Amino acid sequence: MDDAELLTVSQVAEVLSASSQTIRNWIRGDRLRAVRVGNRFLIPRGEVDRLRGEVSLIRGEGPWDVGSESGAASRGRARRRHGPRGRITRRVTLDSEQAFQEAGETWRAALRDHVLAPPDDGFSARIANLSAAAAQRAAACEAAYEDGFEWPPARGGAKPPYELRPGTGRRGPEDLWPRFDEAVAELDRVSEGRSIRAVGRAYAELAEIASHLAGEVERENRAAGLLPSVSKTRRTAAKR
């Protein structure tokens, strides 16, 4: 096999519209055959052509894929990995799959709120909604796992909406945002695999951190006068 028939990881990533890390994961998972030369992998062109025909069928919805609701729901449908655990009826199977789809729609709606939002005092509320959507998705993933489903592998490397990225002037405690970024990276990583339970746990971790962030950002906004104080809010509610 000569060098003309071999492609680098970055070349394969470009051909398949995937990240270089995804290609390495596929190689290590024996999904993509490669040869090791020194400290790098080289992939036969025939392998790339084979996988290119499969990628559109096996790629799922990435965690930060906003997309259209119908298209994303179709790509992100969980797949049965084996029979249900224990005595689970067909009705429960249908319910867990429906819950998985509904949780995905809620998650994408929360992401769209961040994408479309201007910098305003609603930032804390959007993070709170993201936390709730992540918690819903975590629960749906766990239920789907118990019912014998696996996660549809997704292309990695996507980024969250702009206002949630580092270097964008994100409000809130500096010690919490690095934890949020780590949770984002972990969710992206496990979404490239098939373990729906691992994905659910990553969503749960993100939900917990986002909840803390939402509370702290709201507290800072109230202290800065960007939101009414809690006491004023209670007095207004009492008059109604």
The full DSSP string for the chain is: --GGGEEEHHHHHHHHT--HHHHHHHHHTTSS--EEETTEEEEEHHHHHHHHHHHHHH-B--TT----HHHHHHHT--EE-SSPSSS--HHHHHHHHHHHHHHHHHHHHHHHHHHH--SSTTHHHHHHHHHHHHHHHHHHHHHHHHTTEE---B-------GGGSTTS---S-TTHHHHHHHHHHHHHHHTTSS-HHHHHHHHHHHHHHHHHHHHHHHHHHHHTTSS--HHHHHHHHHH-
Quote the pLDDT of residue 69: 43
Quote the pLDDT of residue 128: 97
Quote the pLDDT of residue 144: 86
Domain co-membership, 11 together with 121: no
Mean pLDDT per 10-residue run, the chain (240 residues)?
72 77 81 88 88 53 66 47 41 67 92 84 92 96 84 81 90 92 95 90 98 94 74 50
Domain co-membership, 100 together with 138: yes
Domain co-membership, 92 together with 194: yes
Domain-located, residue 234: no
Q: State which residues form the domain around 83.
A: 69-223
Domain co-membership, 79 together with 125: yes
